[in-house]
């Protein structure tokens, strides 16, 4: 029997305003878990997940990438020693090996690594994974290519159109379930329209790639909702149901943005769902 393997793919760190990341929660509270620098910026990971299963190599999200100009660098401060290429190489793979790129949503910090500059002048983008199918859904694609004013800065043309123009883009049909047998998909609309949350079946457990529904362990308390969310009250409802389900089914949460913690389990307390244990993915996979 072919065994499924999971690999953490660290693509780098970046910074976002702490107030924006925690919404109505005061800084005096959120800085206990996510300390800010002198500019009120907190460091966040862009941690992706690679699923190796037989002849399929599925990458869930792919980070920011390396196409950014100086203006972008001044706003988001990409830093650290990690890169998409190096992390894939350390796992034993290259860009050419990836068969599927599953995108939870199309904000730049989740899909920017899926394209790269083809020319030295940095004017012509191309797909990074030449043999891969890129997966999104039709509703979210329309949301991204016809962006509202609030999200326009997060949906970058150079990240999106090469996927379409290469012929590598395919749409998941929510009515037909997941096109990839390795996981089921939860659709949520509070952060952005039709964000997809993979639920991966692994060793008798369900590992949930939380994306921006739950960016970090610091966001577990229910009111801790990002100001970036387009429908924060809907996020509140979606998050409540998500956390309740995770506790009841003993799901493992995999964090894309937590700068310290890769995974955690949850427990129910008198204050609602809370962090139980934080751990690395390798503690599950080994």
The domains located in the chain, with CATH, are 5-285 (3.60.15.10)
Would the pTM of this model clear 0.75, i.e. be above it? yes
For residue range 141-181, list pLDDT tens digits in order: 999 999 999 999 999 999 999 999 999 999 999 999 999 99
Cα 184 to Cα 124: distance, rounded to the nearest angstrom:
35
For residue range 17-69, list pLDDT tens digits in order: 999 999 999 999 999 999 999 999 999 999 999 999 999 999 999 999 999 88
Average pLDDT, the chain: 96
Q: pLDDT class for 3, splitting at 50, 70, 90?
A: confident
The strand pair at 263-269 and 252-254 is best described as antiparallel
Residue 24 has a CB neighbour count (10 Å cut-off) of 10
Question: Any residues with CB less than 8 A from the CB of 61 and at least 6 apart, and which?
Answer: 46, 48, 49, 102, 103, 104, 110, 111, 209, 211, 256
């Amino acid at each position: 029997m072919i065994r499924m393997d999971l690999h953490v793919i660290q693509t780098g760190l970046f910074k976002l305003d702490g107030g924006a990341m925690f919404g109505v929660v005061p800084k005096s509270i959120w800085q206990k878990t996510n300390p800010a620098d002198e500019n009120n910026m907190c460091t966040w990971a862009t941690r992706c997940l690679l699923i190796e299963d037989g002849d399929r190599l599925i990458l869930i999200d792919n980070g920011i990438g390396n196409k950014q100009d100086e203006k972008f660098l001044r706003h988001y401060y990409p830093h650290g020693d990690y890169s998409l290429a190096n992390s894939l190489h350390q796992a034993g793979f290259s860009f050419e090996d990836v068969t599927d790129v599953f995108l939870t949503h199309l904000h730049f910090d989740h899909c920017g690594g899926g394209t790269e500059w083809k020319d030295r002048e940095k004017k012509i983008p191309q797909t990074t994974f030449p043999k891969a199918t890129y997966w999104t859904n039709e509703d979210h694609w329309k949301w991204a290519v016809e962006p509202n004013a609030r999200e326009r800065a997060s949906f970058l043309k150079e990240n999106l159109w090469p996927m379409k123009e290469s012929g590598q883009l395919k749409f998941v049909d929510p009515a037909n379930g997941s096109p990839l047998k390795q996981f089921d998909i939860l659709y949520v609309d509070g952060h952005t329209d039709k964000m997809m949350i993979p639920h991966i079946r692994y060793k008798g457990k369900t590992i949930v790639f939380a994306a921006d529904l739950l960016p970090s362990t610091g966001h577990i308390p229910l009111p801790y909702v990002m100001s970036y969310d387009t429908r924060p009250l809907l996020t509140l409802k979606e998050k409540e149901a998500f956390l309740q389900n995770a506790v009841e089914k003993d799901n493992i949460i995999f964090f894309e943005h937590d700068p310290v913690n890769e995974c955690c389990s949850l427990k129910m307390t008198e204050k609602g769902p809370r962090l139980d244990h934080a751990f690395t993915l390798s503690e599950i996979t080994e």
